[in-house]
Structure 1
Amino acid sequence: EKCRGSPPPPPPCRESSKSHCCSTMDTVLGIKGDGFTMIVADRTSARSIMVFNQAEDKITELDSHKIIGQSGPQCDTANFAEYIQKNMTLYELNNDMKLSTFATANFMRRQLATALRKGPYQTNILLGGYDEGAGASLYFLDLYSALTPVNFGAHGYASNFCLSIFDREYKEGMSVEEAKAVIDKCIAELHTRFLISQPNFLIKIVDKDGVRVMEA
């Protein structure tokens, strides 16, 4: 449900409903380890045949212990991330408590589902967070408002190359170094096999100490 006193969500990008290619060309990867969640995204901002820059940050910090990696047109990803982020802050101010990662995932899913029959946001999301007691978690959401907790996930054409690597290499209780090694294999595979050039990647980790950036 919407937080008390929250404004209506911003309208989705009108152009985004015309083509699905914008979201599939982005790469977003996620993996859950022992007490942390790692989310990775490419840094290329492009449209049609034009590359705008290769230093885009597609991983938004919702609060001190929650991050989302998004694929999709920039208008939809920016609008949706900001709407969720500000409503989480409003909820905390109204109730003197933060939303859990589970509650945040379901709030995001509700907003995607509500918009689905009106003007869908063309954004696919991996949500990573850390909660005291519950520990680290990773949630997979898509533009059709599907939601499920996962140990690893991928959005975009990259899923064709990376899911098999995750399936083979993932194990329970991975350390940060082990998870980073799996991500490195995924990035190497994309650089070798993927038609689209994605030279730069950004890695963010969320754990009990908060969010930090790791060198790709």
Structure 2
Amino acid sequence: MAGGMECLIGMKFDSFVILAHDNSAGRSVLMMKQDQDKLVRLDDRLGMVVCGEAGDTAYFGEYIQKNVALYRVRNGYELSPHAAANFTRLELAESIRSRSPQAVNLLLGGFDAKEAKTHLYYLDYLGTMADVPYGAHGYGSYFTLGTLDRYHRPDMSEEEGVHLLEKCVREIQLRFLINLASFSYYIISTEGFSDRRIITVGDIKTADKMTSETPAAMATS
């Protein structure tokens, strides 16, 4: 399973998309770094988060990024999220049939300014592609998809969407044997990308503590 120990999470809402990933980078039993940025910006309102073999993710992410940029230069307009997802799927499908397949899974999402619509696509190393309201890759997906299925709504605000992401991260950190200490996420809307934001174990514990103390404080008052 490409990138099994890593985790990607994506959510699509009416006016924005959230792309999130864990910050770990390792090989076998060795943790190499915990501040890895797994987002690849394809355009002003289009990006993808990638996991898998370290060399493959770097090469494939840059390959897609440069080809999307080349298309814009040659034609004078941007690829739509749907077109970019289909191009990426084709490259993955051809790769798996080659002598040097790319062990890469990804979530591709963005805002289509022409349609005024958000898109999120689930793609894996076999060339599978699906237009989804939410998705996840890695073993962490086993702990997040149930939460997303229960709580996700297309009309959520950005604050509610981030809170839902925190719920997913909480489940991963509570249930998953591997320590994924922090996650990064980006919000993509009609205004483009937000800054990189980070969720840590400490943030989750602080939020849980505040939630547990609130009823007691209300009862005292």
TM-score normalised by the chain length of structure 2: 0.86
**1:214 counterpart = 2:204:** no
Return the alpha-carbon distance in structure 2 between the equivalents of residues 172 and 100 of structure 1.
21
* Structure 1: unaligned runs, 5 residues or longer: 1-19
Q: Which residue identity is paired with 1:199?
A: A
Tell me the alpha carbon deviations over residues 15-46 of structure 1, each in whole angstroms, 9 at most, x when there is no partner.
Answer: xxxxx3x5111100000112100011000011
Match of 1:39 in 2: 19
The match for 1:56 is 36
Query: Does the 8 Å CA contact 2:12/2:133 hold for their aligned counterparts?
Result: yes
SS at 1:178 equivalent: helix
The correspondence for 2:119, drawn from 116, 132, 137, is: 137
In the aligned structure 1, how far is the partner of 2:60 from the partner of 2:175? 31
Amino acid across the alignment from 2:88: M
> Are 1:122 and 2:103 matched, yes or no?
yes
2:62 to 78, 82, 85: 82
CA contact (8 A) 2:186 2:193 kept: yes
Divergent runs of 4+, >2 A: 213-216
State the SS of the aligned residue for 2:155: coil
Q: Deviations over 1:79-105 (max 9, x none)?
A: 111001101111111111110000000
Residues 205 and 214 in structure 1, CA contact (< 8 A), matched pair in contact too: no
Match of 1:179 among 125, 147, 161: 161
Q: CA deviation at 1:67?
A: 1.1
Q: Distance in 1 between matches of 2:116 and 2:124?
A: 24
Task: Please say if 1:193 is aligned against 2:175.
Answer: yes
Cα distance in 1 for residues equivalent to 2:39 and 2:73: 24
RMSD of equivalent CA atoms:
1.0
1:47-95 deviation line (CA, Å, top 9, x unaligned): 1111111000011111111110111011111111100110111111111
User: Aligned partners of 2:186 and 2:40: how far apart in 1?
Assistant: 10
Query: Structure 2: which 5+ residue stretches go unaligned?
Result: 200-221
1:72 aligns with 2:72: no
Q: Secondary structure at 2:130's aligned position in 1?
A: strand
| C-alpha separation in 2, matches of 1:215 and 1:141 | 24
Pairing 1:91-110 to 2, within 5 Å after superposition = 91-110=71-90
Task: Specify the alignment match of 1:8 in structure 2.
Answer: none
Shift of 1:172: 2.2
Q: Is 1:150 aligned to 2:129, yes or no?
A: no
Question: Aligned AA for 1:123?
Answer: V
Deviations, residues 124-150 of structure 1 (Å, cap 9, x unaligned): 110011111241110000110011100
TM value normalised by structure 1: 0.88
- Looking at structure 2, the residues matched to 155 and 191 of structure 1 have their Cα atoms a distance apart, in angstroms, of 16
Q: Give, in whole Å, the separation in 2 of the partners of 1:86 and 1:60.
A: 11
Aligned equivalents of 1:107, 1:142: Cα separation in 2? 13
Q: How does 1:152-171 map to 2 (within 5 A)?
A: 152-171=134-153
Alignment deviations for residues 151-170 of structure 1 (CA, whole Å, 9 cap, x no partner)? 00000001110000000001
